[in-house]
Amino acid sequence: MNTLLWFRNDLRLHDNEALHITLENADSLLPVYIFDPRQFENTPFGFPKTGPFRLKFLIDSLLDLRANLRAKGSDLIILQGKPEELIPELCKKYEIGLVSYHEEATHEETQIEDALDEALEAINVEVDSAWGATLFHVDDLPMEIDQLPDVFTAFRKKAEKYSEIRELFETPESLPGLPKGMEESGNVPGEDFFGIEPDRPSKRSVLPFDGGETAALKRLETYFWQQDLLKKYKDTRNGMLGADYSSKFSAWLANGTISPRFIYHEVKRYESERKKNNSTYWLVFELIWRDYFRFIALKYGRKLFYTTGIKGKRYEWSHDTDAFRKWANAETGIPMIDANMRELNETGFMSNRGRQNVASFLAKCLNIDWRMGAEYFESMLIDYDVCSNWGNWAYNSGVGNDPRDRYFNIVGQGKRYDGNGAYIRHWLPELKQVPDEYIHEPHRMNVGQQRNVGLEIGNDYPFPMINLEQAYREIEKRGD
Ligand SMILES: Cc1cc2nc3c(=O)[nH]c(=O)nc-3n(C[C@H](O)[C@H](O)[C@H](O)COP(=O)(O)OP(=O)(O)OC[C@H]3O[C@@H](n4cnc5c(N)ncnc54)[C@H](O)[C@@H]3O)c2cc1C
């Protein structure tokens, strides 16, 4: 039989169930990736859905996938258009009998799956889809999706107690060729694709973030095995500066160039060969958070994207575009916010600590519609994952799964996690001369002190937002 594998956010050959499905009894295999123009439209608040860093990372991932497929006797066909239209056409042309792909969890993506399934059914092509983006398989959860607890800990405890993480699918040694007549494999887009110019993170980035399965596996090899960093992950994970404080797996996880289950089984191997401790457990714990947001997306569907969030909470949100722009452009005048936003804008990455703070500041201090922030992140993040992004934004904005509705005191957080201001100075060299005691609150320096370090707050740096004083007062009113 001729089979077709539709690659989506599963751009890998290891632990790929959809690939295995297509290989059973395959005389030929047609691996396809489709650039869907809908992914390159603007979000409702006007940001490009796919920004330059993620586009570059994706292109690199596809080039790597294509090279890996070719090395095994296959290829990757790259097309542009709507998958629900193109795939049925390919099936007719190349007499495909079976199509497989990995299922997604969110509304736009599952709508496309439904349309595709229907179109394939109409031409008698079998569809056998797989679930492969989480540690726990959706079918193995100890509860129905509509019974999923709304508090993470309740979910995690049940999943850890009653579910097992499945074994890996092996990487095939070789692959069948393309169907007869399929010769043109299509072009990987170059510059200015759908109006977006692919771009690399700046040199100041925590990592160069090379896309692709090969780079993903190399990152794991480095972080776990060569540098032996996993054993102290729990102590370092709240850092903000450098490659080593956390795994940086997120971008590869997001487009599926690494499988979360593969990471899990490598953690188990590390625990038996090197060390088992709180840190080794904690990396799995964080991956369970990732699972959780995907299952929450399944449970709540489109509500995940509503202003009122999954909780249905009505708040008075501001749409002050001037204040929003200052937040987005790293021009708030608050070093902890501006340093993190500058990192995001230059590299597409930001630490988890940074993300929590800038999100909390936007939604809870400026009271700006949290969806504007979520959409901006969608555009900018190299590791954008629809479920993790929208789930975390809702969580930090008081409309999601946080039972305590936490608030971050930005200054307190800066002092705790960047005590000597090394992170601030890395991203805001304008503040290099500011003494440590003022690095998180330069506006507290008197005029003479400001002049001594070449600053005139309120004039040139740091482009203070109109309500800087008020913003600081807001911060101070709250806990940490
Ligand atoms: C407002 C906001 C938006 C976010 N948007 C995204 C996003 O679009 N894509 C994304 O992958 N993560 C997102 N996160 C979660 C988290 O910040 C990143 O996964 C993490 O910083 C990536 O760095 P790392 O791979 O070194 O993480 P590590 O600390 O090494 O963690 C290992 C892995 O666990 C998962 N993980 C860790 N923390 C979380 C979390 N809070 N939620 C879900 N999964 C987690 C990630 O897959 C991560 O790669 C967001 C967090 C916030 C607060």
| CATH code for the domain in which residue 354 is found | 1.10.579.10
CB of 259 closer than 6 A to ligand 1? Answer: no
Residue nearest to atom 1 of ligand 1 (CA): 393
**Mean pLDDT value across the chain:** 93
What is the percentage of the chain residues whose pLDDT exceeds 70?
A: 93
Assigned domain for 296 exists: yes
| Residue range(s) defining the domain that contains residue 254 | 213-300
CA of 467 to the centre of ligand 1 (A): 31
Cα 388 to middle of ligand 1, angstroms: 7
pLDDT at residue 476 in the model: 65
- Tell whether ligand 1 has an atom less than 6 A from the beta carbon of residue 383: yes
70 located within any domain: yes
Please choose from 250, 288, 355 the residue to mutate so as to test ligand 1's pocket, defined by most ligand atoms within 8 A of CB: 250
232 and 286 both lie in a single domain: yes
Cβ atoms of 423 and 206 within 8 Å: the answer is no
Say yes or no: CB of residue 255 within 6 Å of ligand 1. no
Q: Are 108 and 65 in contact (CB under 8 A)?
A: no
Residue 185 lies in a domain: no
Dump pLDDT digits (tens) for 290-348: 999 999 999 999 999 999 999 899 999 999 998 999 999 998 888 999 999 999 999 99
Nearest CA to ligand 1 atom 36: 286
> What is the tens place of the pLDDT at every residue in 41-84?
999 999 999 999 999 999 999 999 999 999 999 999 999 999 99
User: The domain that contains 117 carries what CATH number?
Assistant: 3.40.50.620
Work out the pLDDT band at 467, boundaries 50, 70, 90: very low
| The pLDDT of residue 193 | 80
Pair (328, 397) in one structural domain: yes
Q: Which of 219, 388, 395 to mutate to test the pocket of ligand 1 (most atoms within 8 A of CB)?
A: 388
Q: Whose CA is nearest to atom 46 of ligand 1?
A: 250
Domain contains 316: no
Task: Identify the residue whose C-alpha is closest to ligand 1 atom 49.
Answer: 250
pLDDT band at 26 (very low <50, low <70, confident <90, very high): very high
pLDDT at 448 over 80: yes
- Supply the residue whose CA is at minimum distance from atom 17 of ligand 1: 352
Q: Is 43 domain-assigned?
A: yes
Q: Which tokens hold the place of 168? A: 């890996």
Residue 27 CA to ligand 1 center (angstroms) comes to 40
Residue 447 burial (10 A CB sphere; 0-12, 13-18, 19+): exposed
**Closest C-alpha to ligand 1, atom 11:** 250
Structure confidence at residue 464 as a pLDDT band (50, 70, 90): very low
Does ligand 1 lie within 6 Å of residue 285's CB atom? no
- Give the total residue count for the chain: 480
* Residue with CA nearest ligand 1 atom 45: 290
Tell me: do 247 and 385 sit in the same domain.
no
Is 161 within the bounds of a domain?
no
Last-in-domain residue among 131, 165, 181: 131
Atom of ligand 1 nearest to the CA of 350: 21
Q: Express each pLDDT in 181-230 by its tens digit.
A: 887 676 776 666 888 999 999 999 999 999 999 999 999 999 999 999 99
**Inside any domain, residue 396:** yes
Ligand 1 nearest atom to the CA of residue 389, by list position: 5
* CA pair distance 169, 179, nearest whole angstrom: 24
Q: Tell whether 64 and 35 lie within a shared domain.
A: yes
Q: How far is the CA of 328 from the centre of ligand 1 (A)?
A: 20
**pLDDT tens-place string over residues 168-186:** 999 999 999 999 988 767 6
Ligand 1 geometric centre to CA of 313 (Å): 24
Residue 12 covered by a domain: yes
Atom of ligand 1 nearest to the CA of 378: 8
Query: For the chain, what percentages of helix, strand and coil (3-state, to nearest 5) are there?
Result: 50, 5, 45
Confidence bin at 22 (pLDDT 50/70/90): very high
pLDDT exceeds cutoff 50 at 459: no
Nearest to 370 by CA among 344, 391, 348, 349: 391
**Strand bridging mode 2-7 / 96-101:** parallel
The pLDDT of residue 469: 58
Q: Are residues 231 and 346 in the same domain?
A: no
- The answer to whether residue 121 scores a pLDDT higher than 90 is yes
Q: Given 81, 112, 131, which residue is the final one in a domain? A: 131
- pLDDT of 32 > 70? The answer is yes
User: Which of 57, 206, 392 is the best mutation target for the ligand 1 pocket, counting ligand atoms within 8 Å of the beta carbon and taking the most?
Assistant: 392
The total domain count for the chain is 3
Question: Which residue has the least CA distance to atom 29 on ligand 1?
Answer: 246
Separation of 339 CA from ligand 1 center, angstroms?
A: 19
8 A C-beta contact, residue 264 and residue 446: no
175 Cα: distance to centroid of ligand 1 (angstroms)? 34
At 390, the pLDDT band (50, 70, 90 cuts) reads very high
Instruction: State the CB neighbour count (10 A cutoff) for residue 199.
Output: 16
Global pTM value: 0.95
pLDDT value at position 181?
A: 86
Are 295 and 328 contained in the same domain? no
Structure tokens at 104: 């997604």
Structure-token pair, residue 201: 């993170």
- The predicted-structure confidence for 353-365, as pLDDT tens digits, reads as follows 999 999 999 999 8
Tokens found for residue 265:
């089984």
At residue 351, what is the residue type?
S
Q: What are the pLDDT digits (tens) for 141-172?
A: 999 999 999 999 999 999 999 999 999 999 99
* Stretch among 21-35, 104-118, 261-275, 400-414 having the lowest mean pLDDT: 400-414
Q: Which residue has the tokens 């439209």?
A: 41
List the residue whose alpha carbon is closest to atom 43 of ligand 1: 290
**Residue 106: which pLDDT band, with cuts at 50, 70 and 90?**
very high
Residue to mutate, 352, 356, 407, ligand 1, most ligand atoms under 8 Å from C-beta:
352
Residue ending a domain, among 269, 300, 331, is 300
